[in-house]
Amino acid sequence: MSAITTSSTVRQEVRAGATRQRLYPVVMHLVMAGAVFLVTFPLIYAFILSTQSTHLGTLVPGSALIENYQDAWRQANMGLLMRNTLIVALSVAVGKIILAILGAYALIYFRVRGGMAILGLIMLTHLLPLPVRIVPTYELLTDLGWVNTFQGLTVPFFASATGLLLFQQFFRTVPTDLADAARVDGAGPFRFLLSILIPISRTNIGALFLIEFVYMWNQYLWPLLVANSDQTRQIQIGIKLLVATDAVIDWGTVMAGALMAIVPPLIVLLVLQRSLMAGLTTATDDV
């Protein structure tokens, strides 16, 4: 009698377990979909606002979509802002990648007397974020005559300890045979760098490009100080000018402008997120 009870309880438990196993993914899907909705809701809300002409705190889309985006494009001079910011983000991303590759290449593939000291010097940049040296850097820029120029917006950002370390780490994992073989075949250091090392560094290049592009696109404090002409103004400051007005702020237009400003870094993120993920998973392997 008792044996039968036990076996039926076990059967019940097994059945409950199986049901749970089937239900678990469904429940998790609901949980995660909810989480994604919550994280994305502010953006959806921003989009709804960008379609409204009057804002009454409702979630009903309005009919002013095209009008708001046209207004934002015109008022903020969005075409020029996009061009200016693209110039800066692309130059810094590419410049940093080039300098970082060259530096890491020198340190790994050559005997460099004092290499550790030079590396240490470049690593000091980690200790010195902009606020630590902002007043003198601004004055230096004034002395150089670089206020309201693209040099002023880009050159101070070219040195990259992050990139140098990233490529150093990666070059260490490249088999030495590869370089030896290249040398035996008569390839000079630049041939080896250009035709072998750089192509196999694609993933890291992609990862660094993503990080630096987004970082520069979203710069605020430095452009606020050094780029106040139409010809150099950066997009974050352009958006600020939509808000910093004495007139009544048209939030539909502001949100339209803000959403347009998100598009380029979002595209770069979508295209390169795999590289970044792969770069991260390999970079974290050796510690």
Size of the site for other proteins (CB under 8 A): 110
Q: Which is nearer to other proteins, 90 or 130 (CB)?
A: 130
Which of 86, 158, 196, 198 binds other proteins (CB under 8 A)? It is 158
**Rule CB under 8 A: is residue 159 a binding residue for other proteins?**
yes
**Rule CB under 8 A: is residue 269 a binding residue for other proteins?**
yes
Task: Give, as ranges, the residues between 126 and 145 that touch other proteins (CB under 8 A).
Answer: 126-140
Stretch that binds other proteins, among 5-13, 62-70, 75-83, 172-180 (CB under 8 A): 172-180
Q: How many CB atoms lie within 10 A of CB 278?
A: 15
Q: Which helix (H) or strand (E) holds 29?
A: helix 2-49
Asked whether the beta carbons of 205 and 160 are under 8 A apart, the reply is no
**Rule CB under 8 A: is residue 13 a binding residue for other proteins?**
no
Which of 67, 189, 196, 198 binds other proteins (CB under 8 A)? It is 189
Residue bearing tokens 């020029």: 80
**Which among 204, 206, 197 has a CA at the least distance from the CA of 165?**
204
From CA 49, how far away is CA 250, in angstroms rounded?
A: 10
Which of 10, 16, 112, 271 binds other proteins (CB under 8 A)? It is 112
**Rule CB under 8 A: is residue 106 a binding residue for other proteins?**
yes
**Which among 76, 11, 99, 14 has a CA at the least distance from the CA of 234?**
76
Q: CB 32 → other proteins: shortest distance, Å?
A: 5
**Rule CB under 8 A: is residue 285 a binding residue for other proteins?**
yes
Q: CB 122 → other proteins: shortest distance, Å?
A: 5
From CA 228, how far away is CA 31, in angstroms rounded?
A: 46
Q: Which is nearer to other proteins, 137 or 148 (CB)?
A: 137
Burial of 216 (0-12, 13-18, 19+ CB in 10 A): buried
**Rule CB under 8 A: is residue 277 a binding residue for other proteins?**
yes
Residue bearing tokens 């004092």: 114
Q: 224: which 2 tokens? A: 């606020």
Q: CB 75 → other proteins: shortest distance, Å?
A: 15
Q: Which is nearer to other proteins, 2 or 172 (CB)?
A: 172
**Rule CB under 8 A: is residue 102 a binding residue for other proteins?**
yes
Task: Give, as ranges, the residues between 192 and 221 that touch other proteins (CB under 8 A).
Answer: 192, 211-212, 214-215, 217-218, 220-221
Convert 93-127 to b/e letters by CB count within 10 Å (16 or more is b): bebbbebbbebbbebbbeeeeeeeeebeebeeeee
